[in-house]
Structure 1
């Protein structure tokens, strides 16, 4: 039976909420990532709190809505992140108003660093596409079974690509040898661990969204 107008709107509504959440988490993570945080012997950036959630919402989009819808969300997030970086750069270059004395502080916190921006945008774009593609292909190969295994598998591959691409573009030549390998390994381990810990949340959200979409179609 064809979906009614209200049901079609409901389908679009849920996708729009997930898309907005996906992009919002991404933009917030990119902004707060400029601060380095001391966590005992470890040094992490501020994005560690929210960025793993970007991959989790990305998993929900890929698992429930498929490759094309997931790719659309990733491209939208990439373009808006690029726009945010460009806007910050233009504001940084714009002359400060008389009496506004925070230019140095603005540049210190949000200053445009081309290499870091390029690393962040490229890593997100490639890593997310790989993660979504692997998850969708594994779903096809397993006929939708083994959800947890597929989520972990796509995360391990997607986060590996994301971390290696970012660290290579951002810090290759600045950090070398075992220090570079250790930095990559630590970032990768933290991201993967966060997603594994939150795996029960991911599976529940996927089940709820899928059930809601199925009910809207009937």
Structure 2
């Protein structure tokens, strides 16, 4: 305690320790990428002319705006599971889930609120962000399935290999997690499973194209980013005072 000029005593302000690690920063980036991707996913993107091989369309490539950043959530998911384990990874996954659900509920409320008399963009808002709840439901269910499988596979493989063969668990966990994520997301967001949430479905050939392209693309991004993921994981491990290698 300290004594003031009037002779009274005062207690110094106290603050909780934030720790010396980087978990909070990785968690914030993880959730931010998830939210941005959910909004970006409302736009379908098409590359190339229509090309068929044996009657099956191989072009155009169909994806969505979430493809720009969403694969990076799996890179950070790998960092969380590899460095912090299943419990902390699960905490990050649930935090992202709650924030995405809150975002969706907020957009629904804003869309339902009466627009100002001199604001002419209600139809544009509804056309773009009015579709977000269906996208978020699809994203959340796919995200939960994919991220939990990604973390579970990585942690289980690490229990067997300890600190060795990091690339095997990174790639294997992503292949499994992204497959579940992409299937669930595509079938709900643009397929028949999401029809009860409003909106139509894209044709089956486009849906299959969209699903396969999305899965291959996301896994490819993980493989391309492996050198960076290695460096990030190594750097985070060095900066975690209480990191204990497996085994």
Taking structure 1 as the reference length, the TM-score comes to 0.89
The SS at the match of 1:9 is coil
> Highest CA radius of gyration, 1 or 2?
2
The SS at the match of 1:97 is coil
Q: In structure 2, how many angstroms separate the alpha carbons of the residues matched to 1:75 and 1:111?
A: 24
The Cα shift of 1:115 comes to 3.6
1:17 aligns with 2:28: no
The Cα shift of 1:169 comes to 2.2
Q: In structure 2, how many angstroms separate the alpha carbons of the residues matched to 1:148 and 1:140?
A: 14
1:6-64, Cα deviation, whole Å (9 max, x unpaired): 997102xx110000000011111111221222333312211111001111011101100
Say which is worse superposed, 56-65 or 178-187, in terms of deviation: 178-187
| Partner residue, 1:32 | 40
Higher helix share: 1
1:157 aligns with 2:176: yes
The SS at the match of 1:145 is coil
| Partner residue, 2:89 | 70
Q: Which residue of 224, 231, 234 maps to 1:197? A: 224
| Partner residue, 2:129 | 110
Contact 2:38 2:132 in 1 (8 A): no
1:107-142, Cα deviation, whole Å (9 max, x unpaired): 111114554332111001111111011101110011
Q: In structure 1, how many angstroms separate the alpha carbons of the residues matched to 2:79 and 2:158?
A: 13
Higher strand share: 2
The SS at the match of 1:10 is coil
* 1:82–1:102 distance in 2 versus 1, CA, 3 Å: same
| Partner residue, 1:206 | 233
| Alignment RMSD | 2.2
Q: In structure 2, how many angstroms separate the alpha carbons of the residues matched to 1:8 and 1:27?
A: 24
* 1:177–1:215 distance in 2 versus 1, CA, 3 Å: closer
Contact 1:88 1:112 in 2 (8 A): no
Higher relative contact order (CA 8 A, sep 6+): 1
Contact 1:10 1:216 in 2 (8 A): no
1:144-192, Cα deviation, whole Å (9 max, x unpaired): 2100111000000000110111122233333565554333211110111
Contact 2:44 2:62 in 1 (8 A): yes
Q: In structure 1, how many angstroms separate the alpha carbons of the residues matched to 2:209 and 2:66?
A: 19
Contact 1:31 1:110 in 2 (8 A): yes
Name the count of aligned residue pairs.
211
Unaligned runs of 5+ in 1: 1-5
